Amino acid sequence: MSSPEQPSMEQTISLTFLTLGSSTVGKSSLITRYAKNIFRESSYSTVGIDYQTKTFSMFDRTIVLKIYDTAGQERFRGLARAYYKNADGILLMYNIADRGSYNDVENWRKEIKENASKKAILLLIGNKCDLEEKRKTSKEEAEKLAKEYEMDYFETSAKTGYNVNEAIEHLVETVLKKKELITSIIKKKKEEKEEAIRIEEMNQKKKKNNCC
């Protein structure tokens, strides 16, 4: 039996997320804000791949979330692709003050379609929303794009912390809901199959009894 401090395995759900988006949109900053509540004005571009983890409670379960942080720079793309397949959720990011990074979203989506699991859930994030005076993409425009690609959309600021937990935990919630749904569909199908076998066995018995 597990102690109250140590949740049982059934109560623990491990999820894997991935950050994607062009260089300097704030991928590392967002997940560092989320995992450690820290922000650095000057940070280094990610080399290769990095990750952060966070453990928290949701729906009476302990969630162990591992977020792989990819590098936006072109030369690391190949390496990042190896991490797409296992991602339950993908944080697809751009910078609201950098139009180029918004234009890149379409290419990132193609990358995801080609390399990620069909089951992965995407969330579009417009980061650096503290830079409102430098905004180059309206919220409405981004919402429209997100809708078209069947993603939810959040604006965040890794700098102030605005909406950071909300965005990531929204994606956790969406992934969990989808997993639960899949689990219940599998359970229902299994029950239907078992019921069909029971009926078939009953009919066979009836036939046997009638013939003698």
Give 69 or 88: the residue with its C-beta nearer to ligand GTP. Answer: 69
Nearest distance from C-beta of residue 93 to Mg ion, angstroms: 10
Distance CA 84, CA 89 (A): 10
Nearest distance from C-beta of residue 189 to ligand GTP, angstroms: 42
42 makes contact, choosing from Mg ion, ligand GTP, none, with CB < 5 to 8 Å by partner type, with: ligand GTP
The DSSP code for 151 is -
Among 28, 101, 127, 163, binds Mg ion (CB under 5 A): 28
What three-state secondary structure class fits 17? strand
**Could you tell me if 91 and 26 are in contact, meaning their C-beta atoms sit under 8 angstroms apart?**
no
Nearest distance from C-beta of residue 94 to ligand GTP, angstroms: 10
121 makes contact, choosing from ligand GTP, Mg ion, none, with CB < 5 to 8 Å by partner type, with: none
Token digits for 70?
């990819």
Q: Does 19 bind Mg ion (CB under 5 A)?
A: no
**CA 162 vs CA 40, 69, 157, 198: distances in Å:** 15, 20, 5, 56
**Could you tell me if 15 and 64 are in contact, meaning their C-beta atoms sit under 8 angstroms apart?**
yes
Q: Does 127 bind Mg ion (CB under 5 A)?
A: no
Give 12 or 165: the residue with its C-beta nearer to ligand GTP. Answer: 165
Nearest distance from C-beta of residue 91 to ligand GTP, angstroms: 11
Give 26 or 89: the residue with its C-beta nearer to ligand GTP. Answer: 26
Q: Which residues bind ligand GTP (CB under 6 A)?
A: 23-29, 40-43, 45-46, 71-73, 127-128, 130-131, 157-159
Nearest distance from C-beta of residue 132 to ligand GTP, angstroms: 10
Distance CA 73, CA 103 (A): 16
Give 100 or 173: the residue with its C-beta nearer to Mg ion. Answer: 100
Secondary structure (DSSP) of 79-105: HHHTTTTT-SEEEEEEETT-HHHHHTH
Identify the H or E element spanning 125.
strand 121-127
Residues forming contacts to Mg ion in the complex (CB under 5 A) are 27-28, 46
